[in-house]
Amino acid sequence: MTRHLFVVDPLERIHIDQDSSFALMEECQGRGHEVYTCDTDKLGARGSDAWADARPTTVRRVIGDHVTLGEPGRRPLGDFDVVWMRKDPPFDMQYVAATWILDLAPPGTRVVNSPDGLRGWNEKACVLRFPELTPACLMTRSAAEILAFQRDVGGAVVLKPLSFSGGAGIVALHPGDLNTNSLLEISTRHGQEYVLAQQYLPAVTAGDKRVILIGGKARGAVLRIPPDNDLRGNIHVGARVELSELTAAEQAVCDALEQPLRDAGHLFVGIDLIGERLTEINVTSPTGIQEIRRLGGPNLAAELVDAALAS
């Protein structure tokens, strides 16, 4: 019997029409596979023997009654064919510790995405590896450096905290904004925390494109058009979604990322593009596969399960 373990946040609060983990569980369940779930606090190891205190899980598309959890039981990670690390950030030391435990999964168990890759590819900072693909970027915790960067790029900049997801904490600094100093203090915690500053791309008003890559290859995309009162194209803050094709320049970005992503062990990735420029590489718990399917695109949950089991 094929078994899957999903390391996820509490399922009671997920959005079943958006959450990629839900779609993946549904796909596994539809194939007759066994599905188990746990949070990171239920992972542990003694010596090199790693386990999960996991619960058998059944999902259904009924809002408010979408999950049934069985009794928890301790299972070695080796009991599972695939472990899907789908815990949402914050990317903190508790998250990192969980990846250390997942490192101990035996060779016959595939961990998606690779624990080493998750540690090494911060979703905001990793774009610094590809300056030829991105808008101008700066990582610092210095307010003075950010202000100098803003002058250099000649306009607005976007500040992104490094540890969060879903657009949390992202702000834009516009020249002459009287809130600038306060926003810098809040974002850097008075110079105690790094942020990624990116040149503001006016094309964001036309949409932020989420592209899903499986094994490094682009397999589907949606354009997320932000609401009039928000700069973020995240679906949960009200962005409108349209199925989208890739331009030649966008496909070139994906092609440039394919081998580095494969080398890092990233099977399931969601990149963000604005004006054909790379702004983020999401590797922890990408979303978008449900929207792509609902709008007439391919069944990427099925492709992901096939790819995970084939590896």
List the CATH number of the domain containing 168: 3.30.1490.20
Tell me, yes or no, whether 261 lies in a domain.
yes
Give yes or no: 224 in active site: yes
Mean pLDDT score of the chain: 94
Tell me, yes or no, whether 78 lies in a domain.
yes
Give yes or no: 210 in active site: yes
Single residue among 181, 200, 219 that ends a domain in this structure:
200
The whole-number pLDDT of residue 238 equals: 59
Tell me, yes or no, whether 8 lies in a domain.
yes
Which domain does 186 fall in, by range?
A: 136-200
How distant is the alpha carbon of residue 300 from its chain centre? 15
Mean pLDDT of 255-264: 98
**Identified catalytic residue from 3, 282, 291, 303:** 282
The whole-number pLDDT of residue 242 equals: 95
**Identified catalytic residue from 19, 26, 27, 272:** 272
**Identified catalytic residue from 55, 87, 160, 277:** 160
In the block, tokens 């604005």 appear at 274
Rg of the chain taking only CA atoms, in angstroms = 20
**Same domain (yes/no): 208, 298:** yes
249: pLDDT strictly greater than 70: yes
- 29-51 residue pLDDT tens: 999 999 999 999 999 999 999 99
82: pLDDT strictly greater than 90: yes
Tell me, yes or no, whether 178 lies in a domain.
yes
What is the rounded distance in angstroms from the CA atom of residue 207 to the CA atom of residue 227? 10
Going by the DSSP 8-state scheme, the letter that residue 88 receives in this structure is: P
Tell me, yes or no, whether 168 lies in a domain.
yes
Give yes or no: 124 in active site: yes
Confidence category of residue 227, pLDDT binned at 50, 70, 90: confident
**Same domain (yes/no): 179, 90:** no
**Identified catalytic residue from 124, 209, 219, 277:** 124
Confidence category of residue 164, pLDDT binned at 50, 70, 90: confident
Domains: count for the chain: 3
**Same domain (yes/no): 163, 143:** yes
**Identified catalytic residue from 26, 27, 123, 280:** 280
Tell me, yes or no, whether 127 lies in a domain.
no
The whole-number pLDDT of residue 90 equals: 87
Give yes or no: 228 in active site: no
Would you say 13 and 91 are in contact if contact means Cβ atoms under 8 Å apart?
Answer: no
**Identified catalytic residue from 55, 232, 277, 303:** 232
Residue 267, both tokens: 């099977």
CATH number for the domain harbouring residue 240: 3.30.470.20
What is the rounded distance in angstroms from the CA atom of residue 84 to the CA atom of residue 110? 8
What is the rounded distance in angstroms from the CA atom of residue 72 to the CA atom of residue 69? 8
The whole-number pLDDT of residue 56 equals: 98
Give yes or no: 217 in active site: no
Give yes or no: 282 in active site: yes
In the block, tokens 């500040």 appear at 159
Tell me, yes or no, whether 117 lies in a domain.
no
Nearest to 164 by CA among 239, 232, 217: 232
**Identified catalytic residue from 55, 219, 224, 277:** 224
Confidence category of residue 213, pLDDT binned at 50, 70, 90: very high
Give yes or no: 34 in active site: no
What is the rounded distance in angstroms from the CA atom of residue 122 to the CA atom of residue 139? 12
126: pLDDT strictly greater than 90: yes
Mean pLDDT of 226-242: 66
Q: Is the pTM of this model over 0.75?
A: yes
Nearest to 25 by CA among 67, 78, 75, 88: 67
Mean pLDDT of 105-118: 97
**Same domain (yes/no): 230, 181:** no
Nearest to 216 by CA among 90, 117, 69: 117
Tell me, yes or no, whether 84 lies in a domain.
yes
